[in-house]
Amino acid sequence: MPKMKAAIFVEPGRIVLDEKPIPDVGPLDALIRITTTTICGTDIHILKGEYPVARGLTIGHEPVGIIEKLGSAVRGYREGQRVIAGAITPSGHSEACLCGCHSQDGAGTKHGWKPMGGWRFGNTIDGAQAEYLLVPDAMTNLAPVPDGLTDEQVLMCPDILSTGFSGAESGGIRIGDIVAVFAQGPIGLCATAGARLMGASTIIAVESLPERMAIARKMGADYVVDFSKVDPVEEIRRLTDGRGVDVAIEALGKQSTFEAALRVLRPGGTLSSLGVYSADLKIPLDAFLAGLGDHTIRTTLCPGGKERMRRLMATVASGRVDTSPLVTHRFTLDRIEEAYDLFGHQRDGVLKVAITP
């Protein structure tokens, strides 16, 4: 049984590179030889034991690679093709999928809905930080990479770009909107880019790290509020002359940013939340206008599936968004433990690392 290298969750605090068998390919699967992958903030939660996964699981959900082998029932692809798959790999056939809610895919469950059920890589099945990756429901999930795009150019599509854009999309941004984006990590930066792409006329990013503030401007922010120096709620009120924003995007997952996002909304506005929270949230009565403000609060889990990936790559190919500033560091798979160390401690201005087996 041939072996491959893979980054494996051993126990809280330990993700190590080890050997595993190369997986067998079922009729609906595809085996991908990974050429580039990356580490996500969620992987750090897993590393720290804050998000529980099975011991022995291969981590990672952001694959770029080459089709090594197709399942017997898979049609429409050829071995050797360069592809990506989303972080979320829906089946396409559950009730959730048929409602367009692919991220909550409950394939195989009684009612066809499962919380976060579309997220499988590095969560419920082996993930992408390895030499090979088994992609389930390949016909729903494999998206060929357009010629002319490098691995790094599409590396953000499986998760960061899809999630970031969804923050803008779920906000329902319209031409001429005023938008605030709280936090400018990789996802927040992509949310800023998404707000720009959807026609916001004023984008206010909130961040304190100078490198991120600089990239935020490149991604489309008109103003960048340094929350370490000014109160962001007051500053956004000042910038909007007291009006508030049409859409506020939360991209961190903390009470402070959630609450600030609510406080800067005009009545009738939308709070689009991308953050992964780790504690109960409080909705302050005044910020919520006692429930009479015609507010919408919406959470979105990264959209997946091959059509989503195709659209994102087309957008990258058009030059309308450029995620290359996000890849700040590069490692071989052999050195992934170092990469975890750097990324986990957010050293050296790291945004995203590219890992190449």
Q: Which residues ranging from 280 to 299 are in contact with a second copy (CB under 8 A)?
A: 280-285, 288-299
Q: Which one, 17 or 149, has the nearer CB to a second copy?
A: 149
Q: Are the C-beta atoms of residues 117 and 105 closer than 8 Å to each other?
A: yes
Q: How far is the CB of 354 from a second copy (least distance, A)?
A: 23
By CB under 8 A, residue 96 contacts a second copy: yes
Which residue from 115, 234, 341, 348 is in contact with a second copy, where contact means CB under 8 A?
115
Cβ-based burial of 137 (10 A; exposed 0-12, middle 13-18, buried ≥19): buried
**Torsions phi, psi of 347, nearest 5?**
-90, 160
By CB under 8 A, residue 218 contacts a second copy: no
By CB under 8 A, residue 78 contacts a second copy: no
Which residue from 18, 211, 222, 226 is in contact with a second copy, where contact means CB under 8 A?
222
Touching a second copy, residues 234-253 (CB under 8 A): 241-244, 253
Q: Which one, 38 or 123, has the nearer CB to a second copy?
A: 123
By CB under 8 A, residue 217 contacts a second copy: no
Cβ-based burial of 79 (10 A; exposed 0-12, middle 13-18, buried ≥19): exposed
Integer Cα distance of 153 and 64 in angstroms:
10
N residues, the chain: 357
Touching a second copy, residues 294-323 (CB under 8 A): 294-301, 305-308, 310-312, 314-315, 317-318, 320
Q: Which one, 3 or 320, has the nearer CB to a second copy?
A: 320
C-alpha distances in Å from residue 93, one per residue of 100, 121, 133, 142, 315: 10, 18, 22, 16, 27
Q: Which one, 17 or 197, has the nearer CB to a second copy?
A: 197
Integer Cα distance of 270 and 272 in angstroms:
6
By CB under 8 A, residue 210 contacts a second copy: no
Per-residue interface string for the shown chain with a second copy, residues 172-201, x marking contact by CB under 8 A: --xxxxx---------------x--xxx-x
Q: In the block, which residue shows the tokens 């126990």?
A: 11
- In angstroms, how far is the first alpha carbon of the chain from the final one? 20
By CB under 8 A, residue 102 contacts a second copy: yes
Touching a second copy, residues 156-175 (CB under 8 A): 165, 168-169, 174-175
Count of Cβ atoms closer than 10 Å to residue 345 Cβ: 10
CA torsion 331-334-340-341 (nearest 10°) is: -90
Which residue from 17, 53, 139, 149 is in contact with a second copy, where contact means CB under 8 A?
139
Beta-strand (E) ranges in 81-136?
82-84, 132-135
